[in-house]
Amino acid sequence: MGGADKATLLLAGRSLAAHVADRLEPQVERLAISANGDAARLAGLGLPVLADDGSMGPLSGILAALRWAAPLGATAVISAPVDCPFLPGDLAPRLLMAAEASPGGVALARSGGNDHPTFALWPVGLRDDLAAFLASGAKARVRAFADAHGATRADFPEDGAFANLNTPEDLAQAASLLRGGA
Q: What is the DSSP code string of 12-27?
A: TTEEHHHHHHHHHGGG
pLDDT at 181 over 70: no
pTM of the model: 0.91
Rounded to the nearest 5°, which phi and psi values hold at 72? -80, -5
**pLDDT one-digit tens code per residue, 139-151:** 778 999 999 999 9
pLDDT at 180 over 80: no
Which pLDDT score, from 0 to 100, does residue 164 have? 86
Please state, in angstroms and rounded to a whole number, the distance separating the CA atoms of residues 154 and 137: 29
pLDDT at 1 over 60: no
**pLDDT one-digit tens code per residue, 9-26:** 898 899 999 999 999 999
Asked whether the beta carbons of 34 and 64 are under 8 A apart, the reply is: yes
63, amino acid identity: L
Please state, in angstroms and rounded to a whole number, the distance separating the CA atoms of residues 96 and 122: 10
- Spell out the domains of the chain, with CATH numbers in brackets: 6-178 (3.90.550.10)
Asked whether the beta carbons of 53 and 90 are under 8 A apart, the reply is: no
Please state, in angstroms and rounded to a whole number, the distance separating the CA atoms of residues 131 and 138: 11
Q: What is the CA radius of gyration of the chain?
A: 16
- Tell me the β-bridge partners of 10: 15
Give the pLDDT band (50/70/90) at residue 3: low
